[in-house]
């Protein structure tokens, strides 16, 4: 319905490996709250078989599985899923071990048990950053209702080496794309649904790593493109483009935001 925020899709998948079923289910619930799906496995053999047939964004594994310590089976997980980061779950002070020890054992990240919401959220942010750093190309998502303009912008971006995604509106962007892997959103402001301004505000709140370039035409003689784009800047857009614009200006705007840190927007008081 107009004015409502979109319901985002799930943004990542996790293989959970834990002999403790209730704790594995608890971890899965916390992951779901962060819009990540989970596959639960309760022994190493099942986990290895699953990893051989399905790709995940993260493996979340207990420090002891089938009576064996993490360091004795981490290599098997690496072999089954060499491009997937591994997060080890450890009890605080367990056998005098520290998070640094688990990083030395072969974990990419460490999560303290029993897992809590803030810890899961922090690990997800770290894992998303881990994947972005390993992307060969920056990923740009173009949100534009005009089919021809959207196709033209995507083609130009692809020609100069960007990985490109496209959506007709903010709702489609939240539903259909893994925004954790997106570096830049180029969005029209005057689009159906929640629109570019509210969409930009939500993106900047939930995905502060994403740079936003806003583009707009005038609404009428009184509400110019500059008026619309000023509102987009207040919502968090770092660069703006008044339509029509040249492709050179467009590419320069994308390049410019990638060379800077995303501008943080203060949360509104509730």
| Domain extent listing, the chain | 12-133, 139-258
- Residue 139 · residue 165 · CB < 8 Å: yes
The CATH label, of 3.40.50.620, 3.90.600.10, 3.30.1490.100, 3.40.50.2300, for the domain at 12-133 is 3.40.50.2300
User: Is 42 exposed, middle or buried (CB count within 10 Å of its CB: 0-12, 13-18, 19+)?
Assistant: middle
CATH of domain 139-258: 3.40.50.2300
What is the chain's percent helix, strand, coil content, to nearest 5? Answer: 45, 20, 35
- What single string gives the DSSP state of each residue in 244-264? S--HHHHHHHHHHHHTSPPPP
Q: Do domains 12-133 and 139-258 have the same CATH topology?
A: yes
pLDDT tens by residue, the chain, 270 residues: 344 554 455 578 999 999 999 999 999 999 999 989 999 999 999 999 999 888 898 999 999 999 999 999 999 998 888 889 999 999 877 778 899 999 999 999 999 998 999 999 999 999 988 888 777 689 999 999 999 999 999 999 998 889 999 999 999 998 877 788 899 999 999 999 999 999 999 999 989 999 999 999 998 888 999 999 999 999 999 999 999 999 989 999 999 999 876 665 554 433
What's the half-sphere exposure (Cβ side, CA atoms, 13 Å) at 38? 23
The pTM of this model reads: 0.61
Where are the strands (E) in 101-235, listed by range?
Answer: 109-113, 139-143, 163-167, 184-188, 211-216
């Amino acid at each position: 319905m107009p004015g409502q925020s979109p319901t985002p899709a799930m943004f990542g998948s996790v293989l959970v490996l834990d002999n403790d079923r209730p704790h594995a289910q608890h971890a899965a619930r916390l992951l779901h709250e962060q819009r990540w799906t989970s596959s639960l496995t309760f022994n190493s053999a099942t986990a290895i078989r699953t990893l051989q047939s399905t790709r995940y964004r993260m493996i979340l594994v207990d420090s002891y599985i089938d009576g064996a310590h993490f360091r004795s089976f981490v290599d098997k997980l690496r072999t089954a899923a060499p491009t997937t980061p591994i997060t080890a779950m450890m009890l605080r002070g367990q056998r005098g071990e520290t998070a640094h020890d688990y990083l030395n054992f072969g974990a990419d990240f460490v999560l303290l048990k029993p897992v809590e919401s803030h810890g899961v959220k922090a690990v997800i942010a770290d894992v998303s950053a881990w994947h972005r750093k390993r992307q060969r190309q920056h990923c740009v998502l173009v949100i534009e209702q005009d089919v021809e303009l959207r196709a033209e912008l995507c083609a130009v971006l692809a020609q100069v080496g960007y990985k490109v995604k496209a959506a007709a509106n903010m709702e489609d962007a939240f539903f259909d794309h893994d925004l954790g892997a997106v570096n830049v959103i180029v969005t029209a402001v005057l689009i159906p649904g929640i629109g570019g301004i509210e969409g930009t505000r939500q993106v900047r709140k939930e995905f502060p790593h994403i740079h936003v370039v806003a583009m707009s035409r005038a609404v009428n003689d009184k509400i110019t493109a500059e008026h619309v784009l000023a509102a987009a800047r207040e919502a968090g857009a770092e660069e703006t483009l008044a339509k029509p614009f040249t492709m050179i200006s467009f590419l320069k705007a994308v390049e410019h935001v990638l060379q800077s840190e995303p501008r943080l927007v203060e949360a509104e008081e509730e």
